[in-house]
Amino acid sequence: MDSRLKHTGTTKERMEKITVKELLDWTGGLLKQGRQDSVIRSVSINSRSLKRGDFFIPVAGENFDGHNFIAAAVAKGASGSLFALGKFSPSHLYPLPNGERRGEGGFILIEVPDTKKALLAIAENYRRKFKIPVVAITGSSGKTTTKELIAHILSASYRVIANAGNFNNEIGLPLSILKLSMADRTAVLEMGMNHPGEIANLSRTASPNFGLITNIGSAHLGFLRSKSRIAAAKAELLVYLKRGCAVLPADDRFFSFLASFPVRERITFGLKKEADYFPKNIRFTPEGTHFLLGRKEGTFLPLSVPLFGLFNIKNVLAASALTLRFGISEDVLTEQLAKFKPAEHRFQVLEKSGVYIVDDTYNANPASFRESLSTFRRLAGNNRKIIVAGSMGELGRFSQRSHFSLGRFLARVNPDRLILVGPEKESVREGACSFGFPESRILRAEDNQAAGSFLQKNLQPGVFVFLKGSRFLKLEEIVEHFMLK
């Protein structure tokens, strides 16, 4: 069963019915038009992908405000809309296209104090309709792969719903919850954040029974300014697990802090044997990683998974710990891990014409960059190596220092060619050269096209190429161009 759901900003075809009265009760809204007994069967935040009958929830983004598209939603056949006081006037819609009058049914209009908070409240109450276990996953890195692993393992025995792509924030996660149907038996939800209180809001909405924290790293350091604050923000999940099970990283420097939160049950994973779940006899091959899953009681289970790197072993350990506790059998765990298909652009190993491309372009932060580079160096061995290193975002005042340090680490990896892309490429160059890396082997590319052109000229059978950078750079364009040529 494929547990990965694609999202378009709509809950069409999966949502159980909600009445307008329920919406009013959940949001504290005021009915300005329509009937309380009207039924809503799908929700949308995107007027472009909205289908006839969808209920429109206008939310504000960085460069737009959904309230400006309420009229467009009406024209496309929306059943109704929320709106926030001061953002929109119902009189803008009168007379309605079909001639219906205010208060006599037709298009539903509900006034709420804040549409984003209303969306969270709707999802929180909708989740209460389902007596199923919910798994919540957060962390600085590895959370998407861990979520995909857990959803894939559980899908062998349960009907699973999981949020997809970047639907892990205060807009995407509630939309994912609103896709729940009575046929689903569990939900696996990734939770992202870039400010304090966001994980708390998502946890309150999802009401998880299981919570997993992959690690505490430097992602979002620019927003939160210290790893201690990042740890505190991620730990907001644990506040909502007093009657649940927490799965925690035993190797993390913040483990003691995370373990201080009162939960009903605590399970640990890590590379050291002091953890409840740990690896033994790790072996890497071109097909993936093989190791023995060790457990505190002294038993071992052989596992193989088409993933690479110590960082992914930690993800597999976390997923194994949670799903075994969930009730999955050892046989199912072994079979599902062997059949796992890695998500695109997350240390994905591709081959064409004898050239090996390691596509790790989905995103980047200082910790994940170093871990991926270490794995790439081991995978490439003595073969010729080319690295395309993109800038990392969301580091704020730590950006220059972090990129300088990245440059020094890249010099230690010692690629035959180093291609730098992004606004911080000069800081990376300075760091690499300060460690003795020859400047003659560095190219500072103006854009992806320039980086791709230079890369193409240096490819020959036996070369290993590694690409990684933050999402805003879209370095996957370079990979796609090469694979299609």
Weakest-pLDDT range from 56-70, 83-97, 230-244 = 83-97
- What is the spatial distance between Cα 281 and Cα 107, in angstroms, rounded to a whole number? 63
Residue finishing a domain among 61, 83, 114: 114
Residues found in the chain: 485
Same domain for 199 and 268, yes or no, is yes
Return the percent helix, strand and coil in the chain, to nearest 5. Answer: 35, 20, 40
User: For residue 451, is it within any domain?
Assistant: yes
Tokens 């309380």 correspond to what residue?
36
E strands, 286-321, in order: 288-295, 300-305
- What is the spatial distance between Cα 118 and Cα 88, in angstroms, rounded to a whole number? 16
Mean pLDDT of 445-454: 94
Residue 14 pLDDT: 64
Tokens 């029974």 correspond to what residue?
209
Neighbours of 472 (CB within 10 A): 14
- What is the spatial distance between Cα 59 and Cα 116, in angstroms, rounded to a whole number? 6
User: For residue 211, is it within any domain?
Assistant: yes
Residue 473 pLDDT: 96
- Per the CB < 8 A criterion, the answer to whether 278 and 317 are in contact is yes
More confident call, 221 vs 227? 227
Same domain for 156 and 108, yes or no, is no
- For the cut 60, the answer to whether the pLDDT of residue 100 exceeds it is no
- What is the spatial distance between Cα 166 and Cα 14, in angstroms, rounded to a whole number? 19
Residue 481 pLDDT: 86
Cut 0.85: pTM above it: no
Residue 61 pLDDT: 77
- What is the spatial distance between Cα 458 and Cα 355, in angstroms, rounded to a whole number? 11
Res. 219 pLDDT band, cuts 50 70 90: low
- What is the spatial distance between Cα 14 and Cα 6, in angstroms, rounded to a whole number? 12
Q: What is the CATH number of the domain that holds 435?
A: 3.90.190.20
Mean pLDDT of 218-235: 77
Edge-to-edge order in the sheet of strand 417-421: 348-352, 355-359, 464-468, 385-390, 417-421, 442-444
- What is the spatial distance between Cα 26 and Cα 479, in angstroms, rounded to a whole number? 46
User: For residue 123, is it within any domain?
Assistant: no
Residue 367 pLDDT: 87
Share of the chain above pLDDT 90, in %: 78
Q: Which residues contact 70 (CB under 8 A, 6 or more apart)?
A: 56, 58, 81, 83, 88, 92, 93
Per-residue model confidence as pLDDT tens digits over 320-372: 999 999 999 999 999 999 999 987 898 988 999 999 999 999 999 998 899 99
User: For residue 147, is it within any domain?
Assistant: yes
Same domain for 305 and 359, yes or no, is no
Amino acid at site 208: P
Neighbours of 398 (CB within 10 A): 17
Same domain for 147 and 180, yes or no, is yes
Q: What is the CATH number of the domain that holds 303?
A: 3.40.1190.10
Q: What's the number of domains the chain is made of? A: 3
User: For residue 257, is it within any domain?
Assistant: yes
- For the cut 80, the answer to whether the pLDDT of residue 104 exceeds it is no
Q: Is 91 helix (H, G, I), strand (E, B) or coil?
A: helix
Residue finishing a domain among 62, 88, 114: 114
Same domain for 386 and 260, yes or no, is no
Dihedral of CA 158/215/282/412: which sign?
A: positive
Select, from the ranges 56-65, 186-195, 331-340, the one with the highest average predicted confidence (pLDDT): 331-340
More confident call, 322 vs 284? 322
Same domain for 311 and 373, yes or no, is no
- What is the spatial distance between Cα 291 and Cα 382, in angstroms, rounded to a whole number? 24
Q: Which helix (H) or strand (E) holds 467?
A: strand 464-468
More confident call, 309 vs 446? 446
Q: Which of 122, 120, 90, 123 is nearest to 107 (CA)?
A: 90
Residue finishing a domain among 315, 338, 361: 338
Same domain for 141 and 39, yes or no, is no
Mean pLDDT of 465-485: 91
Same domain for 315 and 452, yes or no, is no
Residue 12 pLDDT: 52
- What is the spatial distance between Cα 213 and Cα 258, in angstroms, rounded to a whole number? 9
Residue 441 pLDDT: 97
Q: How far is CA 337 from CA 179, 277, 282, 483, in A?
A: 26, 16, 15, 27
- According to DSSP, the β-strands at 80-84 and 160-162 are unpaired
Same domain for 39 and 170, yes or no, is no
E strands, 80-171, in order: 80-84, 108-112, 134-138, 160-162
- For the cut 60, the answer to whether the pLDDT of residue 101 exceeds it is no
What is the span of the domain harbouring residue 366?
348-484
- For the cut 90, the answer to whether the pLDDT of residue 120 exceeds it is yes
Amino acid at site 396: G
Q: How far is CA 232 from CA 62, 110, 229, 315, 340, in A?
A: 26, 36, 5, 21, 32
Neighbours of 185 (CB within 10 A): 15
User: For residue 11, is it within any domain?
Assistant: no
User: For residue 38, is it within any domain?
Assistant: yes
Same domain for 70 and 179, yes or no, is no
- For the cut 90, the answer to whether the pLDDT of residue 483 exceeds it is no
Q: Which residues contact 381 (CB under 8 A, 6 or more apart)?
A: none
Residue 296, phi then psi, degrees to nearest 5 = -55, -30
Same domain for 293 and 417, yes or no, is no
Q: Which two tokens stand for residue 111?
A: 């006034």
User: For residue 121, is it within any domain?
Assistant: no
Same domain for 83 and 197, yes or no, is no
Mean pLDDT of 201-210: 98
Mean pLDDT of 71-91: 89
